[in-house]
Structure 1
Amino acid sequence: MRIKPAVITMLAMTLCLVGPMPATASRADQDQKPENGDIAFGRVDPAIDGFSLWTADSDGSHQRRLTKDQANFSDWAPDGDRIAFDFIDDAGVHIATIEPDGRNRKALTAAPGVQECPKWSPDGKSIVYDAFPFGQPTFSVSIWIMLADGSSPKQLTRNALDVEPVFSPDGTRIAFGRITGDSPEGQLEAIYVINSDGTGLHQVVPPRPGLEHPDWSPDGRSITFNIEPENTKAPDYGSILAVHPDGSRLRVIQPRTPDLKFFKAVWSPDGRKLLSGCFDTHARIDRICVVAPSRRITVVVDGPQGVNFPSWGADD
């Protein structure tokens, strides 16, 4: 039950390394790195026919359920004090924040339609997301930014199919996926970067089949993404790739293995590991894994109903 962003589901309806992990930052940068804290993820609950939001220690222990309703993508505030997530209600998909113990939930968006895939700015003052209203005459999806309390929303892109934005570590730029069409190998998606004020839009990775789920490494040197595990016709399916923000040195940093295919990889706050969905090809179920340097893989979250949507917070 691997769920894509609601926008991609809607789009489907309308359109019927080689080498080591990326280098870590300099010693001076490492001295300022945050420590890795807890993780968040979605766990399937058959009673709600979807995922609820959970947290756990970084090794998967002490799992705690935060929501009773359907919740999908999540992201931790830089200080680890709150989690932004998207949830489903009768009016569409919206964004809220919640404390890691499940208290003080606050809805940030409410407009009819979809507002999803929230990501915090590095200073914790803003949240970027993708959105579209219901009933638009020509279907499009845009990148938006708002203050962390949900106020002052601003549209950054228009007239395209733009999804899953993420800030650069310095907060000046935003990377996102742009869905461009279909091919015999599957849906085509590119990676674009735009300045956080809406200027300077440019393409970093040309459209390729199965591309999805971009993230920006904490040292700023790489934008990572995966190739859809189900799409066996796409080159590098089930693998995690990285590219420099200028579009150079595109490479595989974690290839699929005979046992695991990877998806929705996100960086640890210290930039030394990746937390990734990992499809177990034998058990035929999604798990969550930590990918460490030298491609050491550890399953940290398991479950008979399946898990998804990993995110990793800093230790507050």
Structure 2
Amino acid sequence: MAESDGSQQKRLTEDQTNFSDWAPDGDRIAFDFINDTGVHIATINPDGQDRTALTSAAGVQESPKWSPDGESIAYDGFPFPVDEANFAISIWVMDADGSDPRQLTHDALDVEPVFSPDGTRIAFGRITGDSTDGQIEAIYVINTDGTGLREVVAPRAGLEHPDWSPDGRSISFNIAPESPAAADSGSILAVRPDGSGLRVVQEATTALKFFKAVWSPDGRRLLSGCFEESDGIDRICSISRGGRVNVIVGGIQRVNFPSWGSAG
């Protein structure tokens, strides 16, 4: 973790972890981690203390996201052993202590859920296939009780990593930098939750390609992975509402999977 300008970096875990998300009150961080039974979800204090595993079933439980009230965590997952003939990745919601897991989607490849600011809906990506321009993915929204499933963005090559703006007016996503032939590769886009108003929020530049963008709690900035073309390393960038881009975490090591603290 680090301050919002990239200073005061501190390592919280020693094992391999990926996606992380801060609780709304800033007291806990949810993250997924890898062990010999799969990928699981835990929470930890911002000082690195009191690590608590929330899932342990053989398989994958990943990409945790807190609900706005801090009472629930959404995630995607699938069990081991894998049924190759009927393989599916589902969206789940559990209580913040890991109890009462509920499956919301079935029979598809659904990934990276994120709550709406009012906590009533979840946006997520649905992988629908592959193409020469990259993996094909759509964005769907579903009510937190599993009803009301609908498509918001039609499947397109390279689409990935949805996030919901704090004012509830936009769902953002990026087009993968590693899909250079796909339209808007390396750019951040946004759309209204009803599927209208699709637009480019931050266009890729000759120097930087953007991915995994997440909104600050006040909605004034985006925190994004940014691939620097000159040296081929992933950085973390801060993007202001006016489009000013600052590389805030760099160095010689690859960095990834950014998330904001509760204060932004």
TM interval, short-chain normalised? over 0.9
Q: Could you list the per-position Cα deviations for residues 227-257 of structure 1 after superposition, in whole angstroms to 9, with x for gaps in the alignment? A: 0001011000000000000000101110000
Aligned to 2:226: 278
TM-score, normalised via structure 1 length: 0.82
Paired amino acid for 1:135: P
Secondary structure at 2:245's aligned position in 1? strand
Aligned to 2:194: 246
Q: Which has the higher contact order (CA 8 A, sep 6+)?
A: 1
Aligned to 2:31: 85
Aligned to 2:69: 123
- The number of equivalent residue pairs is 262
Aligned to 1:19: none
Paired amino acid for 1:129: Y
Quick one: which of 204, 213, 238 aligns to 1:265? Answer: 213
Cα distance in 2 between the residues matched to 1:187 and 1:60: 31
Structure 2 unaligned segments of length 5 or more: list them: none
Determine if the alignment matches structure 1 residue 191 to structure 2 residue 144: no
Quick one: which of 52, 60, 77 aligns to 1:106? Answer: 52
Paired amino acid for 1:66: L
Q: Could you list the per-position Cα deviations for residues 103-153 of structure 1 after superposition, in whole angstroms to 9, with x for gaps in the alignment? A: 000000000000000000000000000000012322100000000000000
Paired amino acid for 1:225: F
Aligned to 1:144: 92
Q: Could you list the per-position Cα deviations for residues 2-42 of structure 1 after superposition, in whole angstroms to 9, with x for gaps in the alignment? A: xxxxxxxxxxxxxxxxxxxxxxxxxxxxxxxxxxxxxxxxx
Cα distance in 1 between the residues matched to 2:176 and 2:82: 28
Cα distance in 2 between the residues matched to 1:127 and 1:165: 10
Secondary structure at 2:123's aligned position in 1? strand
Cα distance in 2 between the residues matched to 1:187 and 1:102: 35
Paired amino acid for 1:174: I
Quick one: which of 159, 162, 171 aligns to 1:223? Answer: 171
Cα distance in 2 between the residues matched to 1:72 and 1:136: 21
Aligned to 1:25: none
TM-aligned CA deviation for residue 260 of structure 1: 0.2
TM-aligned CA deviation for residue 303 of structure 1: 2.2
Structure 1 unaligned segments of length 5 or more: list them: 1-54
Aligned to 1:94: 40
Determine if the alignment matches structure 1 residue 57 to structure 2 residue 30: no
TM-score, normalised via structure 2 length: 0.98
- Over the residues paired in the alignment, what is the CA RMSD in angstroms? 0.9
Aligned to 2:128: 180
Higher helix share: 1
Identity %: 72
Consecutive aligned runs of 4 or more in structure 1 exceeding 4 Å deviation: none
Aligned to 1:135: 81
